[in-house]
């Protein structure tokens, strides 16, 4: 019995920590949605693009880790700048769905560019953190938890606290919230809309880079990252599109539920149900709480 | 009784006649190479049909759905099992029933559209995409316990006659596509389509005017999935000639979405234009790569470039012409017509303000 409980705990903790990886991807979506009510479908492609560039800098040009990170982050700022100038500004008054379609196109562009520049083969990314159980925890608590999972959890926690403080206590954060509330009113009182957008897209780019590094260290840097990032969508639905804590909680729920379902129910169906379980979970959430756990209630008028 | 078929204008009949002459007489007489049939015309017709399905739910009813390939897979595997297990049904019967099976899935996964819209609905329809592919993959019964993963599709036999040559298969696809396209046009112009468009333009307003949202949305999803199912069955039996779930992955769904949007949302001819473009453009790029650069550019680079161009086009169309290529075509016709008429009739001049 104790063993079973221990096993359950192990599955649960593993799932929760894996869930923080989804949270990291979802965080990028939330940042952009919060500031511009734009759903950025290309976030997954940004994850792939940024981490592939990072790997490319490190492996093809032998640039040291820190410098490669800075270069990749700078690249994402450039991407953000181009997106703001070339895609978002012309679509300022377009409908939500039109902007969504444009970001799907943007995703295609980024995926194509990344593969054209750095090739299509799977790259190994070694962060110096092993994807194996931490011996100390395995010995003392009898739980087998990967070091990479713990790192991802810590990184996610740091980023969330940082972003939370930024939104809550800085002038930039206040501007961001004002723009999110009503872009027209915000710009009429002198908040520079362009700079805010650029800032948000750059921040989302850096978040994408960090998420990509975590995913890349686990699964290799490859095109499948884009599909993995799609799983951030159910995370967002559960957490709510405009809530940073929501992204985290949503990620944890998805991570834990999909692992538990996979381990306890999966064998009855031949396994691999984690491919669709998050989406079905999201549908149930949609039926009962369409705005997500922490989202704002959507009221539509004729 | 309500008339089932709309009255067609003279222009419609001329268009239909031109298309029929072109596809039934001219193409088979002048195109003799098999490559054109097996790699371009047959997939074009199949994908155009699937794109019409996507148009119905997205272009006409305004519901963002992203699971066309899942319904195609449902149709294809339903077809395989029906021919295998219920041989009495015949090819046409199986095709219709497999479309209906896909439609059942469409209804099931279309239900969330009653509560949610936009990106939320997109995620819900992604569930159908992943679930259907997983189901086919995991339950051996659907694949007749074939362990290799790729099943050969059965030969097409209609009324005892085999349709195995590329030309014959082309005619099968052409016949099905023509009938379903005509039906789709009918629906789009009739009260069904008007209800769809009312829901698309403002669902709350439509509801308050007495359009049943439940009925309209579920109907749109069912019909859309029916089209995708039939298209999937044809795609597997006439083009791929094999069945594997991987062929119907999320990438195909995105492809159909692109065909739908680049072609022109809310138009039937846009489905054909979009499908032709997405299908022919890579062929063109490869031809340029092989003939101009003599293979100096790697094939993977070419496919990456293709992806970049599709993405760029999507952005450009969203910015400058959200109604897609069908609208461009319409504008072109309009400008030619106005040029012709301005040179022909001198009497009427457009008012010009003088400074």
Predicted complex: ipTM over 0.95:
no
Nearest CA in chain A to B257: A101
Chain B residues touching residue A98 (CB < 8 angstroms):
318, 322
Q: Give B208's contacts in chain A (Cβ within 8 Å).
A: 302
- Tell me, what's the pLDDT at A141? 66
Task: Between A296 and B216, name the one with better pLDDT.
Answer: B216
Residue B262 distance to chain A (closest CA, Å): 10
Q: Is A132 on the interface with B (CB under 8 A)?
A: no
Q: Does A120 sit within 8 Å of B319, measured CB to CB?
A: no
Q: Binning pLDDT at 50, 70 and 90, where does residue B5 land?
A: low
* A40-62 residue pLDDT tens: 889 989 999 999 999 989 888 88
What are the tens digits of pLDDT across the range B168-183? 889 999 999 999 999 9
Specify the pTM: 0.88
* Whole-number pLDDT of residue B81: 92
| Alpha-carbon gap: A225 to the closest alpha carbon of chain B (Å) | 14
pLDDT single digits (tens) B31-85: 778 888 888 899 999 999 999 999 999 999 988 888 899 999 999 999 999 998 8
Distances (CA, A) of B117 to A51, A242, A261: 32, 16, 28
Q: Which residues 6+ apart lie within 8 Å of A290 measured at CB? A: A298, B115, B116, B120
A156/B109 Cα distance (integer angstroms): 34
Q: Is the pLDDT of residue B208 over 70?
A: yes
Q: Supply the pLDDT for residue B347.
A: 47
The whole-angstrom distance between B202's CA and the closest CA on chain A is 7
Distance of alpha carbon B32 from alpha carbon B77, whole angstroms: 31
- B212 part of a folded domain: yes
- Domain with B130 in it: 10-248
Q: What is the pLDDT of residue A287?
A: 79
Query: Quick one: pLDDT band at residue B6, thresholds 50, 70, 90?
Result: low
Cα B30 to Cα B24: distance, rounded to the nearest angstrom: 11
- The whole-number pLDDT of residue A131 equals 67
pLDDT at residue B124, as a whole number = 83
Which chain A residues are Cβ-neighbours of B118 within 8 angstroms?
39, 96-97, 100
A279 and chain B: CB distance < 8 Å anywhere? yes
Please give the pLDDT value at position A76: 93
Q: Looking at the domain assignment, is residue B180 inside a domain?
A: yes
Mapping DSSP onto H, E and C, the string for chain B reads: CCCCCCCCCHHHHHHHHHHHHHHHHHHHHHCCCHHHHHHHHHHHHHHHHHHHHHHHHHHHCCCCCCCHHHHHHHHHHHHHHHHHHCHHHHHHHHHHHHHHHHHHHHHHHHHHHHCCCHHHHHHHHHHHHHHHHHHHHHCHHHHCCCCCCCEECCCEEECCEEECCHHHHHHHHHHHHHHHHHHHHHHHHCHHHHHHHHHHHCHHHHHHCCCCHHHHHHHHHHHHHHHHHHHHHHHHHHHHCEECHHHHCHHHHHHHHHHHHHHCCCCHHHHHHHHHHHHHHHHHHHHHHHHCCCCCCCHHHHHHHHHHHHHHHHHHHHHHCCCHHHHHHHHHHHHHHHHHHHHHCCCCCCCCCCC
Question: Which of B300, B304, B311 minimises the CB distance to A107?
Answer: B311
Selection from B219, B179, B178 nearest residue B196 by Cα: B219
Rg (CA), chain B: 22
- Structural domain count of chain B: 1
Question: For the domain bounded by A2-288, which CATH number is listed?
Answer: 1.10.3470
- pLDDT, greater one: B322 or B55: B55
Binary contact (A269, B138; C-beta < 8 A): yes
State how far the Cα of A148 lies from the Cα of B332, in Å rounded to an integer. Answer: 58
- Supply the pLDDT for residue A89: 85
Does residue B317 form part of some domain?
no
What is residue A70's predicted lDDT score, i.e. its pLDDT?
93
- What is the reported pLDDT for A237? 85
Residues in chain B within 8 Å Cβ distance of A104: 254, 257, 311, 314
Least confident of B32-36, B79-83, B108-112, B313-317: B32-36
pLDDT of A260 reads: 87
What local confidence, expressed as pLDDT, does residue A138 receive? 66
pLDDT beneath 50, residues of chain A: none
Kindly tell me if the per-residue pLDDT of B308 is higher than 90.
yes
Largest Cα span, chain B: 80
The pLDDT of B190-205, averaged and rounded, is: 90
* Percent of chain B topping pLDDT 90: 36
Mutating which of B66, B73, B118, B123 best tests the A interface, going by the most A Cβ atoms within 10 A?
Answer: B123
Mean pLDDT calculated for residue range B154-162: 82
What does the pLDDT read at residue A142?
66
């Amino acid at each position: 019995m104790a063993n079973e409980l221990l096993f359950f705990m192990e599955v649960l903790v593993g799932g929760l920590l894996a869930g923080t990886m989804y949270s990291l991807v979802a965080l990028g979506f939330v940042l952009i949605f919060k500031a511009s009510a734009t759903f950025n479908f290309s976030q997954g492609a940004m994850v792939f693009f940024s981490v592939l560039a990072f790997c490319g800098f490190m492996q093809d040009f032998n640039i040291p880790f820190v410098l490669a990170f800075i270069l990749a982050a700078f690249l994402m700022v450039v991407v953000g700048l181009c997106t703001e100038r070339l895609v978002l500004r012309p679509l300022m008054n377009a409908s939500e769905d039109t902007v969504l379609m444009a970001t799907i196109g943007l995703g295609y562009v980024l995926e194509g560019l990344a593969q054209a520049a750095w090739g299509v083969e799977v790259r190994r990314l070694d962060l110096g953190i092993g994807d194996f159980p931490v011996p100390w925890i395995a010995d003392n608590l009898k739980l087998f938890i990967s070091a990479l999972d713990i790192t991802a959890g810590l990184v996610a926690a740091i980023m969330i606290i940082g972003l939370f403080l930024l939104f809550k206590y800085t002038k930039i954060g206040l501007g961001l919230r004002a723009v999110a509330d009503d872009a027209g009113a915000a710009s009429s009182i002198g908040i520079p809309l362009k700079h805010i957008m650029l800032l948000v897209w750059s921040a989302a780019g850096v978040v994408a880079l960090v998420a990509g590094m975590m995913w890349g260290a686990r699964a290799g840097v490859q095109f499948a990252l884009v599909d993995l990032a799609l799983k951030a969508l159910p995370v967002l639905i559960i957490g709510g599109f405009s809530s940073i804590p929501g992204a985290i909680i949503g990620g944890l729920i998805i991570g834990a539920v999909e692992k538990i379902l996979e381990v306890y129910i999966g064998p009855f169906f031949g396994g691999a149900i984690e491919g669709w379980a998050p989406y079905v979970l999201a549908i149930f959430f949609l039926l009962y709480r369409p705005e997500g756990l922490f989202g704002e209630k959507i009221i539509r008028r004729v | 009784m309500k008339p089932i078929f709309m009255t067609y204008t003279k222009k419609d009949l001329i268009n239909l006649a031109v298309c029929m002459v072109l596809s039934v007489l001219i193409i088979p007489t002048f195109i003799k190479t098999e490559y054109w049939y097996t790699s371009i015309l047959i997939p074009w017709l199949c994908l155009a049909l699937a794109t019409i399905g996507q148009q119905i739910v997205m272009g006409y009813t305004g519901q963002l759905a992203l699971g066309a390939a899942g319904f195609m897979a449902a149709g294809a595997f339903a077809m395989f099992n029906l021919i295998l297990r219920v041989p009495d049904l015949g090819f046409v019967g199986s095709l219709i029933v497999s479309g209906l099976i896909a439609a059942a899935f469409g209804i099931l996964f279309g239900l969330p559209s009653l509560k949610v819209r936009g990106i939320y609905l997109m995620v819900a329809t992604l569930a159908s995409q992943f679930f259907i592919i997983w189901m086919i993959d995991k339950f051996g019964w659907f694949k007749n316990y074939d362990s290799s993963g790729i099943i050969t599709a059965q030969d097409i036999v209609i009324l005892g006659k085999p349709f195995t040559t590329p030309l014959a298969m082309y005619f099968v696809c052409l016949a099905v596509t023509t009938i379903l396209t005509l039906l789709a046009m009918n629906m789009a112009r009739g009260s069904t389509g008007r209800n769809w468009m009312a829901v698309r333009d403002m669902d709350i307003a439509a509801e308050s005017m007495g359009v049943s949202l439940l009925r309209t949305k579920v109907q749109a999803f069912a019909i859309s999935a029916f089209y995708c199912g039939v298209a999937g069955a044809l795609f597997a039996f006439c083009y791929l000639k094999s069945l594997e779930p991987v062929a119907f992955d999320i990438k195909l769904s995105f492809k159909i979405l692109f065909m739908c949007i680049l072609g022109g949302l809310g138009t039937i001819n846009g489905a054909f234009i979009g499908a032709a473009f997405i299908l022919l453009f890579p062929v063109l790029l490869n031809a340029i790569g092989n003939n101009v650069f003599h293979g100096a550019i790697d094939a993977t680079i070419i496919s990456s470039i293709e992806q970049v161009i599709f993405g760029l086009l999507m952005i450009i169309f969203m910015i400058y012409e959200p109604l897609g290529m069908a609208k461009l075509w319409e504008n072109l016709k309009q400008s030619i017509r106005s040029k012709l008429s301005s040179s022909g009739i001198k009497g009427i001049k457009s008012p010009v303000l003088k400074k």
